[in-house]
Structure 1
Amino acid sequence: MRNHFVFAIVTISLVAFNAAGVQIDSNIQNKNVERTIDLTTQLVKVQHKVTLENKVKKEFSGVAYTFPVTKDVRDNLAYISIRDALKKELKATEEKTADGSLFTVSVTSSSPTPVLHIETVFSKSLEPYPTQITQNERQLVRYFGNAYFYSPYKTISQKTTVLLASKSVESYTTVKPSSHADGTITYGPYENVEPYSSEPITVHYENHSPFLTITNLERVIELSHWGNIAVEETIDILHSGAGLKGSFSRYDYQKDARNNHPSVKSYKTILPASATEVYYRDTNGNISTSAMRILKDSVELDLRPRFPLFGGWKTHYTIGYNVPSFEYLFSSGDQYLLKMRVIDHVFDDMVIEKATVKIILPEGTSNIKLIPPYSVSRSPDQVHYTYLDTVGRPVIVFSKQNLVENHIADFNLKYTFSKAFMIQEPLLIIGFLYALFLIVIVWTRLDFSITKDSSVTHHHKD
């Protein structure tokens, strides 16, 4: 039933793409396509190696090549990258239609058969089936896809390799020729596949990789021109795998000797190498069941929640650290540039539904310009007050939905800050102490007594 549904959506998408008025060069064809679908984690990672060919010309000069993403998977697309043979990223323009998106790049190459490397990452594309399991059952998931490389161009030859998380496969759709060996399913090679061809497939297999979803992440970066940057993250995590059916037995859990288990005991978070004063706490206080390793290029935290996470279970915690500002803040006169990551590595193959970043700048900052590494939603600026502030510190706020590890990239924040503002707080402290001492001096010098002085001699007439 689901396969027919997917096929129907693909057919609708074909009509929508044709109606969108996108110019597809019929002389361009996919000479060879090698596609790898990685299903070893909770993410679906698809790598395409596409060799192009022009039936008329022997060279490519600004030729437009279009890669379609249909509506049934468009909302799950977290990341896409298109690179040339030298792995140089090509700028892709996206055209949205009612039933999907079209990503178009310009291809220029002296080779008659240029190569494109297309990488896509999809979140929430694996469906737990069954949706609920007991504590000792295996976690099985289903993947729905296409045996063919979906393209508006004719494909001369193509082959697809599906990588699984285990050798245990309940079932999979066979499309001749296709084969299954250990943890790999191979579809093809298929010859002379027409444009927009579709052959729906379903793979039902065992997958015990951590199905953790960060439902909300708030990252606060507080910048001080006195040499320190404080970073704090508040994180909500949900185990989005098969839900736990029945009660939980800690006794059975402790004697379970399986290496692969659908629950999550711990995970590794990666912080910058210069991170110091790291803390990890939840609503009950500090969590001591964690370990920290200082490596050459990073700080590795083995975070262990207070309880193992089963399907449907949640946890909430705060993690923070300090880094020296000289590693991330650059200046020329009164012009400054802050360059830091939008997000950190929370755990392997992470999925973040929504991340909100707040950057607290010093008081007196002006001419602020945010340059994100990708499109974000900018919120109205806020004001933050701390000790000795007069007008408050500007706070830059932006957010992004559906993030994965590929989104770990630096933002640039340019602003103007006069060094004269750096002496504002010391002057306020000096002025306060001066006023305090002055009040004390005046207070001790004045006599507010209403009694008579005993040294005064009173004379009375007889």
Structure 2
Amino acid sequence: MACTSANVVKCHCQKKWSSVTMPAMAKIQFCFTFILFIAINCASVNVDNISSDVKFKNVDRTIDLSSQLVKISQKITLENSGKSPVKSFLVAVEASSKNNLAYIGAKDSSGKDLRVSETTVKGHDSAKFWRVDLKDALNAGSTVVVTSETVFTKALQPYPTAITQQEDQLVKYTGNLYVYSPYQVTSQKTNVVVVTKGIESFSKVKPFSQQDGAIQYGPYPNVAPFTEKELSVHYKNNSPFLTVTRIERLIEVSHWGNIAIEELIEVEHTGAKLKGPFSRYDYQQDLHSGPASVRSYKTLLPASASDVYYRDTNGNISTSNMKVKKDSVELDLRPRYPLFGGWKTHYTLGYNVPSYEYLYHSGNEYLLKMRVIDHIFDDMQVDELTTKIILPEGSVGIKLNVPYPVTRLADSLHYTYLDTKGRPVITFKKSNVVENHIQDFQLRYTFPRLLMFQEPLLVVGFLYALFLLVIIYVRLDFSIHKAEHQHKD
């Protein structure tokens, strides 16, 4: 068995079973509860071994450094050199990069997603591993092509760390020249894309070639598992280095046909800091002034979004444009001032969408299916995302299903007008979020449909009681003495 500690407890419980009396039932219950706890924890930890039958026959790797994110795509030709079928293989990320990893995924040759689950390998505690399950088992002597994708945040460092208003931004990337693989790699190539001719310096490991904003390395034959060699590129990168340091996304569900969404967003320019004074006159007169600054950016909302508002602490921001497209609503957001390195801003963005597009029901059972986060700007990186979902009062049996691991916070209550018990609030957090995390969550709950009439009945009852009090007040006579009647002579 896998869990030795659980077996010890189980044996101990079995030895004591013959002498059990009724007062000892609590101890028995504790034993089995502890066994269940150990079993669940052991099952949740994946442990894999590195198969000697698996080899990477060929790897074509592309490192995209054109934005503030580092996107690495690997086209892997997987070979089974053993005698038995292979159902999965491992991909790894070196210790120097694992803290910057935001997303990892894999697809087969037809472009369909493959299941990727985090795992561990004994003897390699410093690195991170993921197991990729193949759609079909790979027979002995056969090959299959799989593409893996990884996205890293804050892997580009401004160098120098401070620049003047007129200077270009230079950044430095440090990574691994070879594919960090747990298997032998027969042949591999690496293509580094920077989309600029302003390359200051780069690692020169033969064979290599440089051509119009790209550097090609390899092919390198017979690379041993877990081989590392520093790859460094120092180049010009004036793309927006915007980081959403914190976003709180509030989704309020109504069964009367509307879902209100409001986002509180804090943004910081995390590129090279501004050195020296800022000249508003030069910035407005010269379009090439502040090449690394951010004047505006585009946010995409659902196509059915309406009643859009965009404001900061000073009020509504009028310097924004909205364009309605077939599949989205495009907002060109322009902060009150341009963002240079180290500068921050925060604002509130809200809109409404019809509930019939996201809320489904069968009887008293409801299913809410919405995005965890929307597109804020191109190549976005979010340090911390908090999503809150406010359900109608009386919702019970709440079950949340998220497409990737999140931190579920304690449920709470939200009170608005005409609420008696409060509306359930489901909250979860996710850190290090990128565009690949724009996926749907599913929230199931039960809501008795008769409760929809609770608020209208409360309003009717209140008005009825008010009118009844008015009628009673008008008809009652609160005078102490009766009015004297005058008699005519």
Q: When the two structures are superposed, what TM-score results if normalisation uses the length of structure 2?
A: 0.87
Aligned pair partner of 2:170 in 140, 157, 162 = 140
1:103 corresponds to: 130
**In the TM superposition, what is the alpha-carbon distance from 1:104 to its structure 2 partner?**
1.5
C-alpha deviation, 1:424, in angstroms: 0.4
Q: Which residue of 2 aligns with 1:84?
A: 108
Structure 2 CA distance, aligned partners of 1:380 and 1:270?
30
Match of 2:334 among 304, 311, 323: 304
Contact 2:166–2:290 under 8 Å retained in 1: no
Letter in 1 for 2:129: L
Q: Residues 390-409 of structure 1: matches in 2 within 5 Å?
A: 390-409=420-439
Structure 1 SS opposite 2:345: strand
1:427 paired to 2:457: yes
Larger deviation: 326-335 or 146-155?
Answer: 146-155
Moved more, 250-259 or 75-84: 250-259
State the SS of the aligned residue for 2:404: coil
| CA drift at 1:36 | 0.3
Q: Output the CA distance in 2 between the equivalents of 1:115 and 1:62.
A: 14
Instruction: State yes or no: 1:191 paired with 2:191.
Output: no
**Counterpart residue number, 1:34:** 60
Distance 1:24 1:98 in 2: 14
Q: Is the 8 A contact 2:167 2:290 kept in 1?
A: no
Q: Structure 1 residue 291: deviation in Å?
A: 0.1
Tell me the SS of whatever aligns to 1:391: coil
Query: SS of the counterpart of 2:456?
Result: helix
Q: Does 1:274 align with 2:334?
A: no
SS in 1 for 2:465: helix
Q: Which amino acid aligns with 1:101?
A: K
Counterpart of 1:128? 158
* Shift of residue 449, structure 1, vs aligned partner: 1.6
Match of 1:354, SS? strand
Distance in 1, Cα, partners of 2:133 & 2:446: 38
Give secondary structure in 1 for the equivalent of 2:180.
Answer: coil
Alpha-carbon distance change, 21 to 327 in structure 1, aligned in 2, over 3 angstroms: closer
What SS does the aligned partner of 1:271 have?
strand
Q: Is the 8 A contact 1:41 1:165 kept in 2?
A: no
- Which runs of no fewer than 5 residues in structure 2 stay unpaired? 1-45
* Aligned alpha-carbon RMSD (Å): 1.7
Hey, what does 1:214 align to over in structure 2? 244
1:347 to 362, 372, 377: 377
1:256 Cα offset (Å):
2.3
Distance 1:259 1:332, change over 3 A: farther
Cα shift at 1:26: 1.7
The residue identity in structure 1 corresponding to 2:138 is: S
Give me the whole-angstrom Cα distance separating, in 2, the residues matched to 1:365 and 1:21.
40
Corresponding residue to 2:76 among 41, 45, 50: 50
Residue 14 of structure 1 is matched in structure 2 by none
Are 2:257 and 1:227 aligned?
yes
> Secondary structure at the residue paired with 1:302?
strand
> For 1:406, what is the secondary structure of its paired residue?
helix
Structure 1 partner of 2:472: 442
Deviations 1:386-435 (A, max 9, x none): 11001010000001000000000000000000110000011101100110
- Residues 390 and 21 from structure 1, CA distance in 2 versus in 1: closer, same or farther, beyond 3 angstroms? closer
CA contact (8 A) 2:80 2:86 kept: no
% identical aligned pairs: 58
Distance 2:465 2:53 in 1: 83
Tell me if structure 1 keeps the 8 A contact 2:165–2:290.
no
- Which stretch has the larger CA shift, 256-265 or 445-454? 256-265
User: Alignment partner of 1:71: what SS?
Assistant: coil
Q: Determine if contact 1:208/1:260 at 8 Å carries over to the other structure.
A: no
Letter in 2 for 1:275: A
Residue deviations 1:20-65, cap 9 Å, x none? 98422222211110000000000000000000122344xx734431
User: What are the Cα deviations for residues 106-129 of structure 1, in whole angstroms up to 9, with x where unaligned?
Assistant: 332358111111000000000000
**Hey, what does 1:363 align to over in structure 2?**
393
Does the CA contact (< 8 Å) of 2:47 and 2:119 recur in 1? no
**Offset of residue 272 of structure 1:** 0.3
- Give the match for residue 66 of structure 1: 90
- Shift of the alpha carbon at 1:156? 1.1
For the Cα contact (< 8 Å) 2:59–2:77, is it kept in 1?
Answer: yes
Q: Which amino acid aligns with 1:90?
A: L
Task: Report which stretch shifted further, 266-275 or 91-100.
Answer: 91-100
CA shift for structure 1 position 451? 4.1
Q: Which amino acid aligns with 1:76?
A: N
What per-residue deviation string (whole Å, max 9, x for no partner) do you get for residues 333-355 of structure 1? 00000000000100000000010
Contact 1:165 1:206 in 2 (8 A): no
Contact 2:107 2:114 in 1 (8 A): yes
* Whole-angstrom CA distance in 1 between matches of 2:142 and 2:228: 28
Give 1:179's match in structure 2, choosing from 206, 209, 217: 209
Instruction: State the SS of the aligned residue for 1:431.
Output: helix
Q: How many residues align?
A: 437
For the Cα contact (< 8 Å) 1:165–1:209, is it kept in 2?
no
Q: Given that residues 401 and 442 in structure 2 are in contact (C-alpha distance below 8 angstroms), is that contact kept between their aligned partners in structure 1?
A: yes
> Which SS does the other structure have where 1:358 is aligned?
strand
The unaligned stretches of length 5 or more in structure 1 are 1-19, 458-462
Q: Distance in 2 between matches of 1:23 and 1:224?
A: 50
Q: Please give the secondary structure, in 2, of the residue aligned with 1:432.
A: helix
d(CA) in 1 for partners of 2:266, 2:329? 22
Question: Partner of 1:13 in structure 2?
Answer: none
* In structure 2, C-alpha distance between the alignment counterparts of 1:216 and 1:284, rounded to whole Å: 20
